[in-house]
Amino acid sequence: MNHNQFMAAIIEIYGPYKSDALQKITYADIRKRFNESELNKVFEIVYKRINPKFRTPPSPADFEEIFTSQTDLDGEAQEWFNKLNATGNSLDNIIVSNIRAHKALESMGGWVEFCRRNPDYDNLHRKRFTEAYVKAQPEGTPRLMYGDSVQKYNKQPLMFGDPAACRDALEYHKNPADEAVNKALNFLEERRI
């Protein structure tokens, strides 16, 4: 498929552009962004992501959203999966400075479940993590994720990402109840002696 055929297929499926100027800008963007060898795959992706029932052909902004950010976020998600996969275990407490990675972990059941997943299905877990990472909105601050350790309230968490951001998040979310629990645990420990 060449660029002219690609535009003809887009117009056939999605209907005509509302203005000739928008059509020309979109055509120029497609020529600049994609080689002819990529156009069949690009068309499949566009068709899956943009519903043709509304009869609105994709604009350069739509191509930007679908291809640029998706590729960048997929790469970021893979990096975070590798970082999280390589360090720690289900007994560790953790905090992740990247809110998307934090939310992706939560979507998989939290840190403990992420660590307990079956390694035989690593590709499936990687795919689920990547999808959750891409869908997550980067809003909010990360929170501490507790591990399975009996001493989880006294353990220093592993920090993933920017250590200063992790420390700031820990300080921001400091819970007075955590302090009370720590005091109670220390009191019980002293009584045991």
Provide the pLDDT for residue 169.
80
Provide the pLDDT for residue 191.
79
The closest alpha carbon to 9, from 57, 45, 54, 49, belongs to 57
Q: Is the pTM of this model over 0.85?
A: no
Q: CA 49, CA 165: separation in Å to the nearest integer?
A: 34
Q: CA 170, CA 120: separation in Å to the nearest integer?
A: 34
Residue 65 lies in a domain: no
The pLDDT tens digits of the residues spanning 59-68 come to 998 888 787 6
In this structure, what DSSP letter does residue 117 have? Answer: S
More confident residue, 41 or 67: 41
In this structure, the answer to whether residues 41 and 103 fall within a common structural domain is no
Contact 97, 169 (CB under 8 A): yes
Residue 85 lies in a domain: yes
Residue 8 lies in a domain: yes
In this structure, the answer to whether residues 104 and 157 fall within a common structural domain is yes
Residue 32 lies in a domain: yes
Contact 76, 100 (CB under 8 A): yes
Mean pLDDT along residues 1-23: 95
**Which domain, by its residues, includes 40?**
3-58
Provide the domain count of the chain: 2
Contact 102, 166 (CB under 8 A): no
